[in-house]
Amino acid sequence: MRLDKYLKVSRIIKRRTVANEACDSGRVMLNDKVARASAEVKAGDVIEIAFGNKSVKVRVTSVQESIRKEDAKEMFEYL
């Protein structure tokens, strides 16, 4: 699954366009490398996103095309 779509489906970032812009500006790291929006995400990957002066680091536990809002937090774990 594409990185920007994963960020939206897992609800780490609310909108796909915002996720896409974050990737384009170099604020998203996938396995310690700056990632493009089109990068493939798979279980076990580590994603780090810089939000202003703080950052969020998560490990991907599952990749699903669609999921209920209540179950979205099971797609990743905070590190």
pLDDT of residue 19: 93
54 burial (CB, 10 Å; 0-12 / 13-18 / 19+) is: exposed
Question: Which whole number is the average pLDDT over 45-66?
Answer: 92
CA distances from 69 to 12, 34, 73 (A): 11, 28, 8
- Quote the pLDDT of residue 52: 85
Q: What is the pTM of this model?
A: 0.91
Say how many C-beta atoms besides its own lie within 10 A of residue 6's C-beta: 26
What was the pLDDT predicted at 32? 93
Stretch 53-71: mean pLDDT: 91
Q: What is the pLDDT of residues 3-16, one digit of tens each?
A: 999 999 999 999 99
pLDDT at 66 over 90: no
